[in-house]
């Protein structure tokens, strides 16, 4: 059996274009794209997923040579598609980081911070607690498997080409910044109101009894009430995660021309 050079180049091009989209998503998405996971493992994971899924992926354009400017443009478009999908999943998780920062500032727990495994920056421990919790929920509902299935099906709904995503799709990704802040505020509003009532009570107590030192007494009591508020509001985390994740999946499906539709 003899394989021509053109056939081999077409096979390499098909694998390269599919790998570019899948690997770009895995390098950014939640859990798998975390900086705590070594880049080499993520790379081998993307290589394996692409190799397994390649028979189910439609062939790429025939009129584009592998070593050409058009092929480079196709690779860039596939990378942008994968990064856009992975970024939306990160925005879903960052919603709870922002909510944790808001709650930490209100409950006097903002001084305790640790490294964020998603971004590598320091953020309050409350935010990291929520991140770990929603990451477990993300893995528990098989969110990573859903994203991998979605990106593989997207090769049929959004074929490999030089066009890629539309300008409106990038606008939807940027619009997620406002959605993220709105959802974080909605999640933390109950804790903010509860701590506002606590601080208002301390103000009334200080006015009635000036000998009470609000700076030494109020700080410790605010922390205790803050931990109590965190314990009470834990029941709301699954509901808010479900709403955000559903909205995130809807955005991903719309961006990829609805690969989530069941046949």
Closest CA to 252 of 161, 183, 149, 160: 149
Residue 113: φ, ψ to 5°: -135, 160
The three-point CA angle 44-47-48 to 5° equals: 85
pLDDT for 208-219, tens place per residue?
A: 766 666 666 666
* pLDDT (0 to 100) of residue 25: 92
Chain centroid to CA 70: how far? Answer: 31
Q: Does residue 160 lie in a domain region? A: yes
How far, CA to CA in Å, does 153 sit from each of 31, 127, 159, 162?
21, 34, 10, 18
Contacts of 76 (CB under 8 A, 6+ apart): 164
How far, CA to CA in Å, does 228 sit from each of 107, 139, 183, 184, 231?
10, 27, 22, 19, 5
Map the chain to HEC letters: CCCCHHHHHHHHHHHHHHHHHHHHHHCCCCCCCCCCCCHHHHHHHHHHHHHHHHHHCCCCCCCCCCCCHHHHHHHHHHHHHHHHHHHHHHHHHHHHHHHHHHHHHHCCCCCCEEECCCCCCEEEHHHHHHHHHHHHHHHHCCHHHHHHHHHHHHHHHCCCCCCCCCHHHHHHHHHHHHHHHHHHHHHHHHHHHHHHHHHHHHHHHHHHCCCCCHHHHHHHHHHHHHHHHHHHHHHHHHHHHHHHHHHHHHHHHHHCCCCCCCC
Q: Does residue 202 lie in a domain region? A: yes
* pLDDT (0 to 100) of residue 81: 92
Tokens of 160: 């490999």
Q: Tell me whether strands 122-124 and 113-115 are parallel, antiparallel or unpaired.
A: antiparallel
- Domain containing 134: what range? 5-255
Rounded CA separation 111/128 (Å): 13
Q: Does residue 55 lie in a domain region? A: yes
* pLDDT (0 to 100) of residue 6: 66
45 contacts 18 by C-beta, under 8 angstroms: no
pLDDT for 48-98, tens place per residue?
A: 999 898 888 887 777 777 778 888 888 899 999 999 999 999 999 889 888
* pLDDT (0 to 100) of residue 22: 92
What interhelical angle do 237-255 and 69-106 show, nearest 10?
160
* pLDDT (0 to 100) of residue 80: 92
* pLDDT (0 to 100) of residue 87: 92
Q: Give every residue of the chain whose pLDDT is below 70, as ranges.
A: 1-7, 108-123, 209-219, 261-263
Q: Does residue 58 lie in a domain region? A: yes
* pLDDT (0 to 100) of residue 111: 63
Chain centroid to CA 1: how far? Answer: 47
Q: Does residue 77 lie in a domain region? A: yes
Q: Does residue 260 lie in a domain region? A: no
Number of domains in the chain: 1
* pLDDT (0 to 100) of residue 9: 72
């Amino acid at each position: 059996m003899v394989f021509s050079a053109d056939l081999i180049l077409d096979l390499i091009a098909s694998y390269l274009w599919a790998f570019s989209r899948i690997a770009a998503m895995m390098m950014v998405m939640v859990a798998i794209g975390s900086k705590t996971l070594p880049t080499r493992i993520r790379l081998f994971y993307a290589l394996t997923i692409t190799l397994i899924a390649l028979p189910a992926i439609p062939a790429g354009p025939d009129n584009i040579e592998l070593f050409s400017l058009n092929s480079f443009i196709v690779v860039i478009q596939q990378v942008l598609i994968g990064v856009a999908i992975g970024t939306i999943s990160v925005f879903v998780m960052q919603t709870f980081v922002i909510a944790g920062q808001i709650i930490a500032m209100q409950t006097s727990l903002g001084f305790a911070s640790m490294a964020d495994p998603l971004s590598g920056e320091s953020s309050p421990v409350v935010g990291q607690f929520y991140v770990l919790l929603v990451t477990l929920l993300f893995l528990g509902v098989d969110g990573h498997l859903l994203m991998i299935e979605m990106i593989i099906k997207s090769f049929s709904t959004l074929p490999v080409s030089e066009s890629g995503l539309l300008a409106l799709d990038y606008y939807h990704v940027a619009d997620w910044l406002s959605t993220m802040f709105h959802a974080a505020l909605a999640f933390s509003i109950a804790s903010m109101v509860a701590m506002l009532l606590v601080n208002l009570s301390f103000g009334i107590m200080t006015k009635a009894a000036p000998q009470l030192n609000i700076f030494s007494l109020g700080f410790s009591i605010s922390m205790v009430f803050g931990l109590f508020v965190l314990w009470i509001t834990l029941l709301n985390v699954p509901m808010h995660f479900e709403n955000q994740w559903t909205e995130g999946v809807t955005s991903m499906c719309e961006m990829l021309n609805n690969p989530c539709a069941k046949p």
